[in-house]
Structures are given as C-alpha cells and as structure tokens.
Amino acid sequence: MKEYEIIRSARRTLSVEVTVNGKVLVRAPYRATRRDIEEFVIKEQDWIERHVAKMNERRRQRESMPVPRIGADEVHELAARALSEIPPRVRAFATEMGVTYGRITIRNQRTLWGSCSSRGNLNFNCVLMKTPVEIQDYVIVHELAHRKHMDHSPAFWAEVEKVVPDYRERRKWLRRNGGQYIEGMKMGNNV
C-alpha cells in the first residue's frame, strides 16, 4: 500500500487526492478513526494506483520537455500585452454570457491561470499570453462562468460549454502543456 498523508478538518466525509508530484493525501473528518481511514484507503487502492501512475507519467513528460525560461523583461512584455488584449475579449464574452464583472487584474501568478473573486473581480496570469488564443479564450470563459456558479458543478461546466463547446480538449491541452510556461516563469529571473 502506498504511503499517504492524512489531513484532518471539519469535513464530513473521507476523500483522497493524488498531487501532481504523486503524493497521496487523505482528507478526513476529525472524528474518523485510523481504522476508518485505513479501510477507506484499501477500498480506493485501485483508484490511487491509477492516479499515482498517471501523475508520475505526467511528471516524466514535463521533465522531458524543454522549459523555456521567461525572464523579468518578457514577463513585463506579456503583462502589457495581456492588459491590452484580454479586457476587450472579457467584455465580448461577458456580453455573450449575460454576466457582469468588476475589475480585471493581470498578474504573474505561479500556479493559477485565472481567478474570479466573489465580488466579480477577475485575475489573469500574464503567461497566458504565451498559450494559443483558443486556450486564452477558454480561461476567460471559465472565469466568467464563475459569475453564475462559484464552483465547478455540472451547471458551471454547462455554462462553459455553451460558449466553448470543446472546452474539454482545451482544458486537457492546458493541463498537459501549461505547466511548462509556469515553470519557465519560475525558472526565469524569479520575478
């Protein structure tokens, strides 16, 4: 059985997660006994093994890909470009989707491509500008869909699909290829 870390909280159910590094996290309620957790992990063993293998394969693929370094100057150029190109596209998609939003901020985030606050403020990663336009549009629509659903429920994904019918492929592309851009920024000049 693969080793796992237990994270206890005020949740009601047990869940398991495999991180991008292949680490297994078991989230458990405070009241769950060690035996409850062990039984749960045994029951989920096949799922855990499949996902650990998948994450290890993704990591091997990422490691074999050349990572283009993105230095401070390029980050500033990307941010300026994003600031001029993303807001008009956000406006167009917001109109199409029938949603409003607050301010738009461009950042050089180290993990997220975009985010939407409960007040409707949108943040976008400047490195998004290195991805194909279709991927940029997917991220914009994804964040705007949070204006209707602040979760990733089936209703949220249905909202995304109305505007980006092939969102699954775009999301897959971002998961498969996006990490190299983020990693390139981290490896750059640590902006």
Residue 191 has pLDDT above 60, yes or no: no
Q: What pLDDT does 112 receive?
A: 87
Token readout for 6 is: 């237990």
| pTM for the predicted model, two decimal places | 0.66
Give CA 143 to chain center in angstroms: 11
* Bridge partners, 17 (sequence order): 25
Lowest mean pLDDT among 51-55, 64-68, 116-120: 64-68
Measured between alpha carbons, how far is 35 from 48 in angstroms, rounded to an integer?
A: 18
Q: Which residues contact 50 (CB under 8 A, 6 or more apart)?
A: none
Kindly report each contact of residues 51-57 with a partner whose C-beta sits within 8 Å and lies 24 or more positions away, as own/partner. 51/18, 52/2, 52/18, 52/22, 52/24, 54/18, 55/18, 55/19, 55/20, 55/21, 55/22, 56/22
> pLDDT tens digits, residue range 109-123?
777 899 999 999 999
Section 153-158 average pLDDT: 96
The residues of the chain that CATH labels 3.30.2010.10 are 72-187
Measured between alpha carbons, how far is 57 from 162 in angstroms, rounded to an integer?
A: 32
Domain spanning 72-187, CATH class: alpha beta
Is residue 135 within 8 Å of residue 173, measured between CB atoms? yes
Length of the chain: 191
Measured between alpha carbons, how far is 121 from 105 in angstroms, rounded to an integer?
A: 8
